[in-house]
Amino acid sequence: MRFRHAAIVGKYQARGIRPVLEEVAHFLIDQGLDVCFDRDTAAATGVADYEALSTAEIGKRCDLAVVVGGDGTMLGIARELARHNLPLVGINQGRLGFITDVPIDRFKESLAPMLAGDYEEEHRTMLDGSVWRDGERIFEGLSMNDVVVSRGATAGMVELRVDIGNDFVANLRADGLIIASPTGSTAYALSAGGPILHPGIAGWVLVPIASHTLSNRPIVLPDHGEVRIEIVAGRDASANFDMHSLTSLLHGDQVRVRRSQHKVRFLHPRGWSYYATLRRKLRWYEGVV
């Protein structure tokens, strides 16, 4: 398909981002697209020459979102636009760029064929997380990377009961526990010793954080059913969703995680490879001639 109306979303906290965003906007217009800006991006950068829309309006009126920034910027807007099934292209101005894979210095030659319909598309799963207290849901959040249950900043470890579906798995004593999607397997879960999960696999990784028992190892799970994590002991425990939403937990509270009905649509330049991304970002090529 050829795109007609693109929304621009930017890492508006970054210094000097406005000229870059305007350059991207001019390029899109030269390619024959109508262009608008995410409302928060426009307000923070002072861009006033384009229509500014809320994420809900972008989802209804646009057929493409171009995200300029790093993976954090992409995570934030992906959570909002996934329910609208809107495809996203990421122009990387950050450090990692696992999911913003178009280099800023080569965005024109990468985007031109994509805008004409020559691209590769992939869908990434998301996590629906919620917190339950005394049989009532008190909090819910959508995550693209992970749901993390962890101890307080000044407290000792927490004890967590883990159930998957109808099966009791274990009681863990640790600094916390990560449930990560394949996308999130290269984020916090990776630094905590978890495996990398290819995004084509319908699974999650369950990764203890600094477990008191060394035999508590990361495990790969199918992504159907429900994972329940109950706070058994420990002070100031909390749950967060993509390191964004945060809620405090009491003993007996449960964090429940299911696969979201929504998926994120990513568009990549033709020839894009997940393995090539890993080689570049994790520096697997070092030492190879």
Active site residue 128: no
> pLDDT tens digits, residue range 132-191?
999 999 999 999 999 999 997 777 899 999 999 999 999 999 999 999 999 999 999 999
Q: Model's pTM, two decimal places?
A: 0.92
Superfamily per CATH, domain 126-261: Probable inorganic polyphosphate/atp-NAD kinase; domain 2 (2.60.200.30)
Residues 174-233: tens digit of each pLDDT: 999 999 999 999 999 999 999 999 999 999 999 999 999 888 999 999 999 899 999 999
**Please, how many CA atoms are within 13 Å of residue 113, restricted to the half-sphere of its CB?**
11
User: What is the per-residue pLDDT for 143?
Assistant: 96
- Nearest CA-CA partner of 88 in 113, 108, 58: 58
Determine the pLDDT at residue 258.
97
Catalytic residue selected from 38, 71, 223, 253: 71
Backbone angles phi, psi at 255, to 5 degrees: -100, 125
Q: What is the pLDDT of residues 62-80, one digit of tens each?
A: 999 999 999 999 999 999 9
Locate the domains of the chain by residue range: 5-119+269-281, 126-261
- Neighbouring CB atoms inside 10 A of 208's CB total 25
Residues 189 and 178 sit within 8 Å (Cβ to Cβ) = yes
Q: What's the topology of domain 5-119+269-281? A: Rossmann fold (3.40.50)
